[in-house]
A and B are shown apart, each in its own frame.
Chain A
Amino acid sequence: MIGRLILTYPDAARRTGVFVILALITLAIYGLGVSPAWIGRVLPTASDWLAANPALARLIGAMMIASIAAVNWKALRQLPRSFQVVGVWIELFVLLMLFFYSFDLSFAFIAKKVGFLISQGVVTTLYISVISIAVATVIALVGAIAKLSKNGVIYGLATFYTSLFRGLPLLMQIYIIYLGLPQVGYVISAVPAGILALSLCYGAYMTEIFRAGIESIPRGQTEGATALGLSPSQTMGLVILPQAMRVIIPPTGNQFIAMLKDSSLVSVVGVWELMYLARTQGQTEFRHIEMLITASMIYWILSVGLEFLQSRIEARFGRFNVR
């Protein structure tokens, strides 16, 4: 019945559909209790009326937001795809900035501290992350090969390692390494302890990624290489890994980004990385939120850098897939 109506009056049906969706969005915004106070800011003369009719004002506010979103949607639809992407990014970024702006931040304070946040915090964060990423990659490679080993002892070692370090919270690992190793007579300072914990934890996660990547290469590849006389390590390095990279890189990029941010956990043992400084620099002048938002933005920028790097590497290893 409804199907028949839609088929006979497609245009009318489409308009009704759009109208229903708009109404639903309006109701949702109304239901969420979004305040119409912003109308007062844009149009000061309306503020008295808004105060007098709170419920109606809320409904009108919701309708206006819904129609702004709809007009915006229509406008973006006119653009070519790449412009749409850029447009959405710019709009959402501006909204995010407005959200931060509404906190009434002291930009003078941020400007004063951001230099130190970068020169001390970012440098330490990057230093810890880069070394940990490198070590974790090596661990993952060794771990993956060990997990594929026929030797039961080696396989046992590898499975125990991945199980333990994937199973414990990273925060706990940092404490255990920093506070526990001195108990058995090995004094370790905060930065190496942090690097060790991050490497071991992410090495365990990445072991699984590498193993899956290596296993995704058909057995014939190993056999072809072996029949040509290549040694097992040559086969792995020249034939299997370069192909496995296509499978390994995307999830590994994820891990790198996650590790970059998890390096903030190292702040608990007093390392002056980005998170530690973000928490301590604001304390004296009660400007916590400024420092936290600044640090968040810096983390984001660093992650974007990693995303970019990942896409470049992916393109490099996907080269042979052209037809």
Chain B
Amino acid sequence: MPTSIDMATSEIALRGVHKWYGRYHALDDINLLIAPREKVVICGPSGSGKSTLIRCINRLEAHEQGDITVGGVELGEDDRKVDAVRREVGMVFQQFNLFPHLTILENCILAPMWVKKMPRKQAIEIAMHYLGRVRIPEQANKYPGQLSGGQQQRVAIARALCMNPKVMLFDEPTSALDPEMVKEVLDTMVALANDGMTMICVTHEMGFARQVADRVIFMDRGRIVEEGEPEEFFARPKTERASLFLSQLLH
């Protein structure tokens, strides 16, 4: 699949992207094309720039050089374009980032009502649909603090889905979870992948990568060092850095 994408057919395109935090070179010449419905898993050592990369895709971070285009819209200073992109891109964070002062249902209908100006009744209908899909409709009127970590992360996924995004970004969605809750969140993500959503997922869950990823991208020190199909990448990494990283991951 990677070879067949070009600029015109890609959902997400990064060309020559650089980003600095002060003098620290966080992203170094990133070139990446992602096709519609493609599932990409990003892995790499801590501090390699994985979060920075996907946060540039919905402009939670601004890149300093190069172009990023999402769904044909180029990200830059123009706030309306940024808003247009954010409407199409959902994001799930390591720390869930649910709004603790709102109930589960209110968390889910907030953005549809205020960003899409959707009537409350319709927003609730959609929210209940997605809460059903992540299998927690009965918790709708509780507050996030009353739910387990795995449940909270599933709510966060439902909340993002309520905006009906074309692309979903996941930044280590299972790293903050107790081991027994990882599976329920991964299962939700697998179901989502099977529906044909474009997904970019920072994760070190190799089982998940094998099951759903079309492509695995390995980053180190702000660069994309290696990419390939998951079976190939995990079995025979081409670079020394990737094999070192994978051997550490297994231990």
Residue of B with least CB distance to A246: B101
Tell me the nearest residue of chain A to B61, going by C-beta.
A223
Residues 225-273 of A at the B interface (beta carbon under 8 Å): 225-231, 234, 238-239, 242-243
Q: How many residues on B have C-beta within 8 angstroms of the other chain's C-beta atoms?
A: 27
Which listed residue, A223, A229, A234, A322, touches B93 by the CB 8 Å rule? A223
The verdict on B174 contacting chain A, using a C-beta distance below 8 Å, is no
A-contact bits for B71-101, CB 8 A (1 contact / 0 none): 0000000000001001101110101011111
Interface residues of A in 268-323 (CB under 8 A from B): 317, 319-323
Q: How many residues of A contact B (CB 8 A)?
A: 23
> Digit string of B126-168 for contact with A (CB within 8 Å is 1, else 0)?
0000000000000000010110000000001001100100000
Contacts of A40 in B (CB 8 A): none
- Say yes or no: A224-B86 contact (C-beta < 8 A), given A322-B143, A323-B145: no
Q: Does A72 touch B at the CB level, under 8 Å?
A: no
Known: A227-B58, A227-B86, A229-B163. A320 touches B110 (CB 8 A): no
Residue on A nearest B159 in the bound complex, by CB: A228
| List of B residues within 8 angstroms of A230 by Cβ | 110-111, 114-115
Residue B100 contacts which of A226, A227, A238, A243 (CB distance < 8 angstroms)?
A: A243
B102 contacts partner chain A, Cβ-Cβ < 8 Å: yes
Cβ–Cβ contact B90 & A234, under 8 A: no
Are B83 and A224 in contact, with the CB atoms below 8 A?
Answer: no
User: A323–B110 contact, CB under 8 A?
Assistant: no
Chain A interface, DSSP helix/strand/loop, else mixed: helix
B95 partner residues in chain A, CB cutoff 8 A: 218, 220
User: Who on chain A is nearest to B110 by CB?
Assistant: A238
Evaluate whether A228 and B111 lie within 8 angstroms (CB atoms) in the complex, with A320-B145, A322-B146, A323-B146 already known: yes
Closest A residue to B95 by CB, please name it.
Answer: A220
The residues of A that contact B115 with a CB separation of less than 8 Å are 228-230, 234
Identify B101's interface contact among A224, A234, A320, A323, CB under 8 A.
Answer: A320
CB closest residue in chain A, given B86: A229
- A221 on interface, CB distance cutoff 8 Å: yes
Q: Is the CB of B60 within 8 A of A320?
A: no
Of all chain A residues, the one with the shortest Cβ separation from B115 is A229
Residues B143 and A320 in contact, CB atoms below 8 Å apart: yes
How would residues 180 to 197 of chain A score, 1 for a CB under 8 Å from any chain B CB and 0 otherwise?
Answer: 000000000000000000
Q: How far is the CB of B146 from the nearest CB of chain A, in Å?
A: 6
The interface residues of chain B lying within 8 Å CB-to-CB of A218 are 95
B86 proximity list for chain A (CB < 8 A): 226-229
Report whether B146 and A221 are in contact in the complex, using a CB–CB cutoff of 8 Å: no
- The CA of A223 and the CA of B93, in the complex, are separated in Å by 9
Minimum CB–CB distance from B90 to chain A (whole Å) comes to: 7
Complex Cα spacing A166 to B149, Å: 44
Tell me the smallest distance from the CB of A256 to a CB of chain B, in Å.
23
Assuming the contacts A220-B95, A323-B146, asked whether A229 and B83 have C-beta atoms less than 8 A apart, the reply is yes
Indicate if the CB atoms of A224 and B99 lie closer than 8 Å. yes
- Tell me the complex Cα distance, A212–B241, Å: 44
* Nearest CB in chain B: distance from A143 CB, A: 23
- Determine whether the beta carbon of A320 is less than 8 Å from that of B102: yes
What chain B residues lie within 8 Å of A223 (beta carbons)? 60, 93, 97
Nearest CB of chain B from residue A217's CB, rounded to whole Å: 10
**In contact, B90 and A227 (Cβ under 8 angstroms):** yes
Closest beta carbon of chain A to B57's beta carbon, Å = 10
Report yes or no: B101 in contact with A228, Cβ–Cβ below 8 A.
Answer: no
21 contacts between A and B (CB under 8 A): A218-B95, A220-B93, A220-B97, A223-B93, A223-B97, A224-B93, A226-B60, A227-B89, A227-B91, A228-B115, A229-B115, A229-B163, A230-B110, A231-B83, A238-B110, A319-B101, A320-B101, A322-B143, A322-B145, A323-B145, A323-B146
Binding site for A on B (CB under 8 A): 58, 60, 83, 86-87, 89-91, 93, 95, 97-102, 110-111, 114-115, 143, 145-146, 156, 159-160, 163
Known: A220-B93, A223-B93, A229-B115. 12 other contacts (CB 8 A): A220-B95, A226-B86, A227-B160, A228-B110, A228-B160, A229-B111, A229-B163, A230-B111, A243-B100, A320-B145, A323-B145, A323-B146
The list of the 7 closest CB pairs from A to B, nearest first, reads: A224-B97, A228-B111, A227-B91, A220-B97, A229-B115, A229-B86, A320-B101
